[in-house]
Amino acid sequence: MADELVLLDFWPSPFGMRVRIALAEKGIKHEYREEDLRNKSALLLQMNPVHKKIPVLIHNGKPVCESLIQVQYIDEVWHDQAPLLPSDPYQRAIARFWADFVDKKIYELGRKIWTTKGEEQETGKKEFIECLKLLEGELGDKPYFGGENLGYVDVVLVPFYSWFLAYEKCGNFSIEAECPKLIAWAQRCLQKESVSKSLPDQEKVYGFVLQLKKIFGIE
């Protein structure tokens, strides 16, 4: 029986990108459906009634919501191909810790950078860089967070790279100047087809952010 997999997504969503990368890494056939978040489909509302958000992964009619949960689900079901989480329980816990860290910090701080200005923005920038430096520390000398190959934390973090230009332009700073190792890591990830095909172009995301700023009246 063939597996039926549908991904409800929205092209600039870093959370959606995580799932795209995981599916691509494992070569899993699926149907991609673009959602218009100002006009959510009946299917989205039915499959994620609690949060009404994307991404939603629908596997043989059953929905899985929340990107970290989806990536772990994909890793567990398709465990034979390109494993994302390490096999050692302590290493798995460390990977989950850092994924949780990314979720708690990067999105909100990034958001602060493009939606605020003045002192609030400066604080956002400072904290954002501090978090990236902590992540650089965790990466160390490894080519990927997952070691020799792309792993869970790589999949969780790299989507935000597509938003870096937008953060830099809105915040008037250079992420590469502060965190060159992380930029080198991101570009290494982009060498992989699973990542390059899943991340939109940085300029496209920047254009999207400018549009959002206009709509929400943010200068």
Partner 1 sequence: MAEEVKLFGMWASPFSRRVELALKLKGIPYEYIEEDLSNKSPSLLKYNPIHKKVPLLVHKEKPLAESLVILEYLDETWKNNPILPQDPYERAMARFWAKFIDEKLLPTAAKVSHSTGKEQEQGVEEVHQQLKILENELKGKEFFAGQSIGYLDIVAHVLFWFYSAGEASGVNALTTEKFPIIYEWIEKLIKIDAVNECRIPKEKHQDFIRLRRESLKSASK
> Minimum distance between the CB of residue 125 and partner 1, rounded to whole angstroms?
19
> Minimum distance between the CB of residue 22 and partner 1, rounded to whole angstroms?
13
> Minimum distance between the CB of residue 205 and partner 1, rounded to whole angstroms?
25
* DSSP β-ladder status, 5-9 and 56-59: antiparallel
Secondary structure of residue 94 in the 3-state scheme: helix
Query: What span, in angstroms and rounded, lies between the C-alpha atoms of 215 and 212?
Result: 5
20 CA to centre of own chain: 9
Which spans of this chain sit near partner 1 (rule: CB under 8 A)?
50, 59, 62, 64-66, 69-70, 72-73, 76-77, 89-90, 92-94, 96-97, 100-101, 134
When the beta carbons of 28 and 210 are compared against partner 1, the nearer one is 28
When the beta carbons of 37 and 134 are compared against partner 1, the nearer one is 134
When the beta carbons of 89 and 140 are compared against partner 1, the nearer one is 89
> Minimum distance between the CB of residue 14 and partner 1, rounded to whole angstroms?
17
> CA torsion angle for 138, 101, 12, 49 (degrees, to 10)?
150
> Minimum distance between the CB of residue 169 and partner 1, rounded to whole angstroms?
29
> Minimum distance between the CB of residue 105 and partner 1, rounded to whole angstroms?
10
Taking alpha carbons only, the member of 84, 61, 69, 66 closest to residue 1 is 61
When the beta carbons of 98 and 161 are compared against partner 1, the nearer one is 98
Cis check: omega of the bond before 55, within 30 degrees of 0: yes
Residue 144: strand pairing partners: 147
Six token digits for residue 78:
């398709």
Q: Which residues of 128-152 are buried (b: 16+ CB within 10 A; e: fewer)?
A: bbebbeebbebbeeeebbbeeebbb
When the beta carbons of 69 and 177 are compared against partner 1, the nearer one is 69
Stated as kind and residue range, the H or E segment containing 63 is: strand 62-65
When the beta carbons of 64 and 175 are compared against partner 1, the nearer one is 64
